[in-house]
Structure formats: C-alpha cells, structure tokens
Amino acid sequence: MSQSTPAELSWGRHYLMVRPDHFRVQYRINPFMDLDAQPLLDRASEQWRHLLTTLADAGAAVEVVEARSDAPDMVYAMNLGLAFASASGGARVALSHMRYAERRMETVSAGTWFAGAGFAPTYIGADGIGAHFEAGDAFPFGGGLLVGYGPRTEELALKHLASEFDIRVHGLALTSGAMYHLDLAFCPLDGRRALVCPSAFDEPSRRALLDLVPEPILVTEEEALATFCTNSVVVGRTVVMPACPDRVRSELERTGFRVVVVDVSEFHKGGGSVRCLTNPLDVTLGRDLDVVRGGDVVLPLR
C-alpha cells in the first residue's frame, strides 16, 4: 500500500455509548461547564440518537448502557475505561479512576457492564487508588499507547498501564486547561495520520508527538476549542465530527476521508463531543498494540 493510502484503523468499529437520560451540568470540573447554561435534554437526546444512527450507518456496532441517575457525566462513555480485546483470546478493561470525586461512581456501574460483556476488570494502581487515570487520555497509534497526562491522568499511571498490559506507553504532557484530555487534542485517523492540536502539549511532548505521527493534520487551538473537531470518531475512511473547519475538511477529503458532521452541541456544555460520547471496544492487544514484555514507558526528552 502506498504512503498516500495507508492502512485504515483496524479498530473503531465497535463502541459503547451511555444513554443521556440524566445528563445535566451539576458541577464545574472543566472550563466549558456553566451551571447557568443547562443542556436541553430533549435536544440532547435527539442529538445522541442521531450520533448512534450515524455510527451504525458508517458500519460500526454500538452497545448501549443505561446511565445512573446520580452520574450526570456518565454519558461521556469514553472516560469509563480502556478496553482491550486480545489476539490470543480474552478481553480486559482498565477501569478509570477519575480525578474528580463527582465522577467516580460511574466506574462502579461501568465495571459491572464490562464484566458482564466479558471484559476482565483491572485498576490502575492498588485497589484503583494508586493513580488517577481517565481513559479519554489514551489512544493506540503506531503500535504503542499514547497517553496524555497532567490535568486528569497522573504520570504514575503510565507505568501501571505499561506493566499491566505489557505494552509501550508514550507519555505526552498536556498543558492546556481547556484540552484536559488527549481526546480533545488528538484523533488517530489511519496508520500514518492523525488530527493533532500541537498547542495542547508542552514543547517536548509536542515534538515527540509530531515525530510519532508521520503525516499529521494540524489543528489550531482556536479551531479545536471552537468546533471540538479533534474530538471525533473514525470508522474506516469515515470521520464522524461535531464540526469541521473548511481547511481541515479539505485536507481530510484530499487524503481520502469522508467527513460526516453530527451536531452534538448540547454535550459541548459539559465539555465533551463525539469522541467523549463513544468508547471503542475493539482495540486489540497484539494487533493494535505491540506486546512488550514487562511494559515500557517512553517520556519526551527534556
């Protein structure tokens, strides 16, 4: 396959979503939240259903979980846990240990669902309290797991992830208060390309990330914050996005992607978008992530 048409992502065709029945802004744990700007629940539910239908139309399977009435942010399913299938059989999930106590009850219900779906649960650190880890900070790319740390995930979690799953973890320091998860600044597209917002990272991490992605499509901080365009989902050559700046759309289409825009603006009031609302269940150890016995953590040179 030529460099201009790299292999599609082998994952991203099976997702977990959580119903938005109890979605609301009940507290403020990110810069987008405003208790005086509540989401319109009927409109949010309609947007959520449209996103689910769009993913299915693109060829993805979607599992749906009921939300807890006391967990208004549980709709952001990406943060519940990091799920892994295995090329040799079996499945596991690293359940998130949320930095903010307001969200920690979500993991209890998520753990029950994952276990029932055949994913053996594990925690990052002793009894789930060794280090904060939120799954919205982690993506496979180039055989390793890219993990953002700083605002939500702690650096200590990188070592636990690497040793627990026998993988190579590339740590990337996030320094933008608004892009507090990696999934707000980075979106893998295929084997060589990803949407990247360089200003979300400190300088060493920025250099390291751009070295890891052979053909990045760069997004400015203004574009990322105004449109949430880096918080997108890829199914084969279809990119499902909340919005897409003309410049970014031109670049995506030039490189063979089809852009489908889905309005999820009610969920932006809680600080998340398309990627935050979906959690991939088909990332596979030994296929999407190379096995490294004992694990390995790579941090940017400073």
Catalytic residue numbers read 181, 276
Instruction: Please check whether residue 255 is in contact with residue 205, taking contact to mean a CB–CB distance below 8 angstroms.
Output: no
For the purposes of burial, counting CB atoms within 10 Å of the CB of 69, is it exposed (0-12), middle (13-18) or buried (19 or more)?
Answer: exposed
3-state secondary structure of 238: strand
For residues 234 and 275, the answer to whether their CB atoms sit within 8 Å is no
φ, ψ of residue 191 to 5 degrees: the values are -65, -20
DSSP string of 101-161, one letter each residue: GGGTHHHHHHHHHHHHTTPEEEESSGGG-SS-B-GGGEEEETBEEEEEESSSS-THHHHHH
CA 147, CA 199: separation in Å to the nearest integer? 16
**What's the farthest any 2 CA atoms get from each other in the chain?**
52
81/125 Cα distance (integer angstroms): 14
- 104-113: list long-range contacts, CB under 8 Å, 24+ apart: 105/68, 105/70, 105/71, 106/68, 106/71, 106/73, 106/74, 106/79, 106/80, 107/80, 107/81, 109/65, 109/68, 109/71, 109/74, 110/65, 110/74, 110/80, 110/81, 111/81, 113/16, 113/65
